[in-house]
Structure 1
Amino acid sequence: MPVLCCFAALLSVWALCQAQSDTQLPPGTPAIQLRLAGDKRKHYEGRVEVYYSGEWGTVCDDDFSIQAASVVCRELGYVEAVSWSPSSKYGRGEGRIWLDNVHCTGQESTLAQCQSNGFGVSDCKHSEDVGVVCSQRRIPGFKFISTLTNNIESLNVQVEDVRFRAIYSQRKRIPISEGYLEVKDGGKWRQICDAEWTDMNSRVVCGMFGFPGEKGYNTKVYKLLAKRRKKNYWGFGVNCTGNEASLHECKLGHQVELKGNLTCEKNLPVVVSCVPGRAFAPSHALGFSKAYRVEQPLVRLRGGANIGEGRVEVLKNGEWGTVCDDSWNLKAATVVCRELGFGSAKEALSGGRLGQGMGPVHMNEVQCSGFEKSLTECRFNRNSLGCSHEEDAAVRCHVPDMGFKKRLRLSGGRNPSEGRVEVLVEKNGSLVWGTVCSESWGTIEAGVVCRQLGLGFASNAFQETWYWHGDGSADDVVMSGVRCSGTELTLNQCLHHGKHLQCPKGGGRFAAGVSCSETAPDLVLNAQVVEHTTYLEDRPMYVLQCAHEENCLSSSAATATQASYRRLLRFSSQIHNNGQSDFRPRAAHHSWIWHECHRHYHSMEVFTHYDLLSLNGTKVAEGHKASFCLEDTQCEEGIEKRYECANFGQQGITVGCWDTYRHDIDCQWIDVTDVMPGDYIFQVVINPNYEVAESDYTNNVLKCRCRYDGHRIWTYNCHIGGSMSSESEESSFPGLVNNQLGHR
């Protein structure tokens, strides 16, 4: 054990290893066992429960501290504590309250060594049960030691790590979805005897490795291999109910008598085989079939930075809506993850942590058993009274290890989240690193890079990287003509030139670069405001000269007389930032442009597109590209305005605020002078060139149905992109289903 610990990366971790390897406690130290229980949203958090004198009990929050939380987490095999929570955050426990007024220095080996009132001496109620959140990192070399002589089955599995050890014929498969299951305990990898192993155990293991389900395997192969290989068994069985998000939440099975080569002699080491989700399957046919038809699922994720995470949205009556976070937990989150072809949930997020949605809140107080095929099968309260989008639920799912990060890297940046993009490709029979040509390189491509590396969203895409000195041996361009849709899992899945490279500028200083961020803004138009404020106005040409100079009128205005009139479809725009960070223009102060019509500076020359389309998607009115001055017109309660246009001020839209461009402002219109009476589609697109990275671009489009009789106009059925089912979209907007907003 000490030899293993010496190789730990950090001195503090090494010290933890040493402390853990020393199992000798001072004489008279009470023998206790700990576990994390309750209504958890992560498997490494929960209510602290203590097993003492043959009974499980809780710990009171009086005088509890982060030092005490650290002792708890280390005793459970985690490197450190992140935080602790009073007042029964994870639900009220049962039985005795074993410890009260706990005082720890943080150096104790067990909670039993900390000062307290004594076991069972407490004036607390279970409404004061304390909980902790531990670091995800496990102590290297951690060895589970049981102080229980009986009731061992009430303890959770506590091991340093878990892995699949694939047989030789499957080691090159990606992802590895089958193999011997091994746990790392005491610094050594050990097999589990399959005497008590169940399908429920396999289901949990598959889930934690990012797979939605388990399947059978060829037992003959593994029986033959088991006879030839030396085995090193773990001393416990495992007992899962099947709805746990991780093996660490399962209970221990019976203790296994370790007898060297005779251990588990009538049985074999556990083998688990899993079904990958469609997105990760070697071929489409081998992928996991979703609970509902693939072309129109009933549940989706939005606003997440990485694959397998996002705000949960459900489809009801043809309209997408969100889920309120009341009672939201790992069981419900795991149902969502498995339904979408991922594994179990790593985390059930609350409080709009991954951005706020728009539209209705469809589900509240969701209660799942964990075995439902879809979230829509779970029990829930249809009354969402009191729920707002500030309480939107979200998930982070386990996804398979696809090795994506091994073929891409950022080089030369000031921190790990920025740098020149370098990819690993095969060249003349060997693997070499090289750069990406920056022609056509933009925010969408940068976003795919950041997602592939697990670094979140793209905050910037760079077409020159001379200030980042990357690896000199990787200067040659190995990828060019890259164009992504934004949904790809890897940069290699994007369209590119392949082996026939075309990059006139070459690599070096013109190589593509990115900077990534964990958060991003998300702009959404308020559909109701647009629908309620549209009207027609006839204005004389002589008062429209300023607007004409800024190309806000159709081309026929060039030959119009000063006394003639233009017919304008006017409306207000209210643009909300529902993301996790402020929306800021890319252009610096010195490059902003003064607009005489609006009498202020515009920080984005092309911020919106306004268009009137026929029902088959062709333009009938010459819309225009509107520029904006971005500011906080209004904010939600408790949020202060940060940006304003006046006095050459800072421009942007704060999270939780919105920018309103009123209908009576110049250029806030479409010139419909030359449009014939009929039925049309009115469309507004914000941030159309993807100049600024957002967490979700699908909601940047707003569409309305219009009927124009030559004198009046009716606008109805306005909604933002992605807010309706594909069937509803097709019936409301025929001809536009295959005419979606293209990339650049």
Structure 2
Amino acid sequence: MIMFHAVLMVFVALWGSVAPQNISFVRGSSPCSGSLELTRSQYRRRFIRKINEWGLVPVAAVCRQLNCGAALSTHTVGRSRQEPGGMPSTTVVQKFNCSEYIRLEKGTQCSGILEIRSNLGNKSWSAVCKEDFDELTAEVACRELSCGAPSSIQEIVYEERQAPSLTTMFHCQDRESALRNCLSFTGKVCTSKKAVNLTCSEPNNVRLVGGKSGCRGTLEMRQGVEWRGLRKLPRGFWWAGRVCSQLNCGSVISVGLRRSNSPTTKWAIVRDCDESSLADCYFYDEYSSINVEITCSDATRLVNGTDTCSGRLQVKPNLEWLSVCAEGFTQQSAQVACRELGCGVLSAMTRVFTEQIETPTWKSNFHCRGNESSLKGCRKSPRERTSCFPGEAVWLCCSDPDDLRLVGGTSRCNGRVQLKHDDEWRDLVLFLADRSASTFICHWLSCGSPISLVAREKSTPSIWVMYNSCVQSDASLRDCVTTFDQPWDTGIEIYCSDSVRLINETSACSGMLGVKSNGSWFSVCEKDLTQQNAEVFCRELGCGPPSSQQLALHGNPGEEVVAQNIHCQGNESVLLDCQWLTSARDECSSSQSVTLTCFDNVRLSGAKSRCAGTLEMAIRGEWRRVIADGPWDRNSTAVLCEQLGCGSAVSESTIWDNRSRPIWEISTSCIHTTSALSDCVVVKRIRESSESQEVICSGLLAEPNISLSSSAFGFSNVEQKRFYLLLGSNFTVTCSAKPQYQGGFFQLLLNDSGTVQNYTTPAVNHSANFLFYAADHTHQGDYRCFYHNNVFSHNFSSQSQTLSLILQASVKELIIRLVIVLLGMMLQITAFAFYTKAALQRP
């Protein structure tokens, strides 16, 4: 690359030795665009190397040598061709884009003497006369040069060779993208002999093209010297507001996606980006026909507000933004301003004091009837005073035009997602939707926790788009939506719980418990979490039965913890079906709320064990097979087995059959970061598949049972698995297992004071008996059964609880001990009798 750079610079420097007619652009849209070609009598050559990395300086030299205007951009394109032998190959060609009409001389890319070529057939360039060259024209010129807003307009005496014979006069309105689009006429002589020396700010890395002005159109961004469109804008209004500000436009009005006739290479953001400038994000190439379109207001904006529809009102009559004085500004004018900004109707209008440097200087009053589309359409008259005293500006708060709802469900907390903007309801599509997106929507609607997020067939002519990466950044609803005026065949349905939610949740089925009463949310008091209530809480949350509950300090600051006096039978489907006592609620004396954990609705089915089979998940009671959006590896299986309480991972495989059925799709990258698989469900489109995920965990075999029997005298503690037998007795230890799989064998281990004895026997009818005769002290200790079997070409084992055996003396020894005890007692009684008789006979 360095060598080629040097070669090209030498080539540009020595260009004068080459006849100008031998240098040209080919395959371009104009004589000043295309790929560079050098023609000699004997050969033809195009420069096809990529020079994008080293800026517009050499491109400007190329444009100048071809008598074109300013260097606007350069980019690379790939062309496929067929090599000898049928092998395809791709050639990288460098495309140049120079202006035909405008350039800056004796300066830099964005500053210098402004020159134009009035007649494209004429190769001569002439300076622009300073007379009647205003700020609006300068704004358009800087935009055409791909530079920022104009920072200064100076005058300079032009040289004779640059003198325009007839001066072209421009009348621009700041909406045009190029000077040639402005109203102009030629004929006036430049009497001042002074040309325009224009200085624009540094080049913008974003622009809006193809619209009626530089404040609306298709969004393009420059990386290096190459301009490309963007395929998506995840934080739509949030990013668009920064684009409008960077282009010195007003407030953002709309953000949309539109499909073009042919796909081209676009920039795509590779990851979530919270930088203040798009240029600071990381991008990659993507081939797409989708374009982002942004509409900014041309000369009206709200600043320093809490959202895009509130703030101090400013207008831009020329190049400078001026605050509007509150004095004389009417309700009708405020309504027009809200309408112009796409912000619904006026909610409030007030006055705000401005600093000296922000003192309003707009010198006219607006006289609006209220039906105009913009403030520019209102009649204006000069104010009596030229400044606001004591510096009060208009502060507007317009109603948020966006409204969200769920339709077609059994309540306002479930159904198809729709969003209203400008009085139009459209279905909302969540790209790469996951639990974070559904949580965002449920909380926005003041509903409970999300139960499910599913795709349904629903044909709609146009939609709203929301990316889950936006809702994860705590943006507002308006910041996250983008319009897409194309037919769509899938709608998103979200089901939220009505009266139960989990606060500070660690997973979809675990978190601090909250209930809704009379429209307000409260944390749940300890006294309200009975087993029956917990069953209903978990059921309404779309989870399995409760697994644990514990006390915790208040998890949500400012949220009251009160006793709700809830009485459920345990079989109700939702909390609202339970009995709520009408007595006054008591405060929680312990000032503690409850954390609830429910089991996840995940299972392995189709095998004879709960720890092996086809992975399935239930959402709102609907069981479906589960497939992954990426490779399912051993680590994923290990996480699943642990969550199911099935030990460690043994194997995993993907199976296909002949029947396609609805499935749930989960993100494998999510599995390792949560304790609930339901957190990882991803909704893209309606999915049906013949694929299934087969998993085998080490806990395949059920726990065997161990028992002891004997005809000899003894007693036992069944709950503690502790047996007492007499020495010399015969006894049998029985090991048995559930009838899952045929075959296998049982292993009985006896641990007696550190010494282990091992006995094995085949399993017959899923059990085995171990007989012991004339028990002595070597048979005393802890017994445990192990069941071993080879299933699915893997060896599995499971173990029973521990059974403890304690041996007592034999019957003969007990009789002798009893006789000795009785004789001793008789001797004591006799001695006591003699002692008593002697004591009584004493005088």
Using the size of structure 1 for normalisation, the TM-score is: 0.28
Structure number having the greater strand percentage:
2
Indicate the structure whose relative CO is greater, using CA pairs within 8 Å and at least 6 residues apart. Answer: 1
Q: Could you tell me the TM-score, scaled by structure 2's length?
A: 0.25
Higher alpha-carbon Rg: 2
